[in-house]
Amino acid sequence: MLVSGLFMYVILTMISGARELMPPGAWEKQGITYKLTKSEEARRAKLEDLKTLLWNHAAENEGKYPADRLDPAIDMEAWRLPDRSGFYTLYPPGTGGAILVTEPRITCKKRYVILKSGEIKQWSGGRIQSELKRKR
The domain spans of the chain are 38-133
Host H or E run for residue 27: strand 27-30
pLDDT reported for residue 109: 75
Find out whether 35 and 42 touch, Cβ atoms under 8 Å: no
pLDDT reported for residue 49: 93
For 113-135, what is each residue's pLDDT tens digit? 999 888 999 888 888 888 888 75
Dihedral of alpha carbons 120, 124, 129, 131, sign:
negative
For 80-93, what is each residue's pLDDT tens digit? 888 777 889 998 77
Q: Which residue stretches of the chain have pLDDT < 50?
A: none
- How many residues appear in the chain? 136
